[in-house]
């Protein structure tokens, strides 16, 4: 990158606009990443903008070049991810770049997809175009943390959201959790669902709460892929999970032995998936690998203490929203937020990083990564 502080500042300013553009499609691009692009002409004026809206639609660079037209010549392309160099549902963007007439390309990060992995930028360099990589790279990697996880780890990025009391309980001893947190917090959960590719719950939450797992009261929202792990296949076909039409795929993950006791038929929209078992339960690694195979980049886990504990113990939680209501239950039989199969010493306790907190109408939202 340049040593000129003015150019560095300018590059960062334009790249931030790219990231903001890309984020407009959050939760809508899977299996693709979110990408934003700007074309800046030779006089430093933005003449083209674009972002990838969803899989199958043109990539960000295409929209930006279409708007810029001839004004792209001798200009600069800013893009939040390396331009692709392979044919998929759309032609390679590296070709569009080399034909555009720009003299410089600034990319936030290299595409981790093995089909690209630096080859797109190499083609652009070979065409005699100056290339700068790494401008706001950390911010770009955070934006596409789900895509990066699926490509590099073969599993989606997992965000665990738990709503609990000050004494760490997610429900009373009867299993009732309505409502631990306040109405404003519940509204924010819908905002989270709108940003993640999929929502995941376990069998107990499925039975006790009979949730829809939809996004409500947000203009222009879309519903995430809905996923439930039901190892015993106890879900009733007339449940809201089965009967509510969402426009998104619905997966019910179970075991082969549970299929033998299936006494009724689930609606056609519910896709039954048989996965390997671990200790008579669906193997959680296999569940996430299956979702990766479906192109799911990010998962919001809204399950109970058992599923949360399984994910934590398996080291599969990347991000956490801990929503603490300012109330106590004070009942040792009330349900704990994390139900682990083995004890954990204080020395081995999980420590959140990059922690932020927010007060929302009396509830405390704690956010961090693991």
The number of folded domains in the chain is 2
CB 39 within 8 A of CB 46: yes
Determine contact, residues 160/315, Cβ cutoff 8 Å: no
Q: Note whether 194 and 258 are same-domain residues.
A: yes
Same domain assignment for residues 251 and 108: no
Indicate which CATH number applies to the domain containing 69: 3.40.140.10
- For tokens 């990408």, the residue is 35
The token pair at 94 is: 């590296």
CA distances from 271 to 43, 110, 118, 296 (A): 54, 35, 37, 15
Query: Do 94 and 171 share a domain, yes or no?
Result: no
CB 212 within 8 A of CB 241: yes
323 has which bridge partners?
163, 365
CB 16 within 8 A of CB 136: yes
User: 118 with 216, same domain?
Assistant: no
Assess whether 176 and 127 both reside in one domain.
no
CB within 8 Å of 7: residues ≥ 6 apart:
none
Domain shared by 257 and 201, yes or no? yes
Name residue 40's beta-bridge partners.
46, 76
Same domain for 193 and 96, yes or no, is: no
pLDDT tens sequence across 327-355:
999 999 999 999 988 888 999 999 999 99
Cβ(323)–Cβ(187) below 8 Å: no
In this structure, the answer to whether residues 201 and 334 fall within a common structural domain is: yes
Distances (CA, A) of 215 to 25, 54, 204, 219, 290: 16, 18, 21, 10, 23
State the burial class of residue 285 (Cβ atoms within 10 Å of its Cβ: 0-12, 13-18, 19+).
middle
pLDDT digits over 170-182, tens only? 999 998 888 999 9
User: For residues 292 and 87, which has the higher predicted lDDT (pLDDT)?
Assistant: 292
Residues in CB range of 327: below 8 A, 6 or more apart: 165, 166, 180
Q: How confident is the model at residue 264 (pLDDT cuts 50, 70, 90)?
A: confident
Lowest mean pLDDT among 34-48, 91-105, 120-134, 321-335: 91-105
Residues 126, 214 within the same domain? no
CATH of the domain at 180: 3.40.430.10
Residues 138 and 282 in one domain: no
- Structure-block tokens of residue 362: 């009396």
Answer with the one of 94, 124, 147 that is the final residue of a domain: 147
Same domain (yes/no): 141, 99:
yes
Q: Of 147, 180, 214, which one is at a domain's C-terminal end? A: 147
3-state secondary structure of 269: coil
Distance between alpha carbon 270 and the CA centroid of its chain, in Å? 22
Active site residues: 61
Among 147, 167, 187, the domain-final residue is 147
Helix (H) or strand (E) holding 357: strand 353-360
Instruction: Answer yes or no: is pLDDT of 93 > 80.
Output: yes
Cα torsion at 146, 150, 153, 157 (round to 10°)? 30
Cβ neighbours for 108, distance < 8 A, ≥ 6 positions apart: 15, 18, 19, 79, 80, 81, 133, 134, 135, 136, 137, 139, 140
Give tens-digit pLDDT for 1-37: 667 889 999 999 999 999 999 999 999 999 999 999 9
Give pLDDT tens digits for 201-235: 999 999 889 999 999 999 989 999 999 999 999 99
User: Residue 267 sits in which domain range?
Assistant: 154-369
Average of per-residue pLDDT across 275-286? 96
One domain, residues 129 and 257: no
Q: Would you say residue 257 has pLDDT above 90?
A: yes
């Amino acid at each position: 990158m340049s040593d000129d502080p003015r150019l560095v500042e300018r590059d960062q300013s334009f790249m931030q606009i790219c990231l903001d553009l890309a984020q407009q499609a959050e939760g809508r691009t899977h299996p693709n990443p979110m990408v934003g692009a700007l074309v800046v002409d030779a006089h430093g004026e933005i003449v083209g903008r674009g972002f990838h809206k969803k899989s199958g639609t043109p990539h960000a660079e295409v929209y930006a070049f279409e708007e810029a037209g001839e004004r792209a010549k001798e200009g600069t392309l800013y893009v939040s991810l390396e331009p692709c160099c392979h044919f998929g549902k759309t032609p390679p963007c590296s070709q569009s770049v080399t034909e555009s007439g720009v003299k410089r390309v600034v990319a936030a990060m290299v595409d981790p997809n093995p089909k690209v992995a630096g080859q797109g930028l190499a083609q652009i360099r070979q065409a005699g175009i100056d290339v700068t990589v790494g401008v706001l790279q950390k911010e770009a990697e955070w934006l596409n943390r789900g895509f990066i996880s699926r490509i590099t780890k073969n599993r989606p990025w997992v965000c665990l959201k738990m709503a609990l009391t000050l004494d760490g309980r997610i429900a009373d001893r009867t299993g009732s959790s309505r409502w631990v947190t306040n109405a404003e917090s519940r509204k924010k959960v819908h905002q989270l669902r709108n940003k993640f590719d999929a929502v995941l719950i376990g069998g107990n939450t499925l039975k006790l709460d009979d949730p829809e797992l939809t996004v409500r009261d947000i203009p222009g929202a879309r519903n995430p892929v809905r996923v439930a792990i039901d190892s015993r296949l106890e879900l009733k076909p007339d449940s809201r999970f089965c009967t509510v039409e969402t426009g998104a795929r619905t997966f019910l993950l179970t075991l082969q032995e549970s299929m033998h006791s299936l006494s009724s038929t689930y609606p056609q929209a519910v896709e039954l998936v048989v996965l390997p078992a671990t200790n008579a339960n669906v193997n959680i690694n296999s569940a996430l690998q299956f979702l990766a195979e479906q192109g799911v980049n990010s998962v919001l886990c809204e399950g109970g203490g058992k599923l949360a504990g399984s994910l934590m113990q398996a080291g599969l939680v990347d991000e956490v929203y801990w929503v603490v209501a300012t109330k106590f239950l004070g009942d040792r039989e009330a349900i704990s937020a994390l139900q682990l199969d083995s004890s954990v010493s204080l020395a081995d306790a999980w420590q959140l990083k990059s922690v932020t907190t927010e007060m929302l109408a009396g509830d405390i939202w704690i956010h961090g990564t693991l």
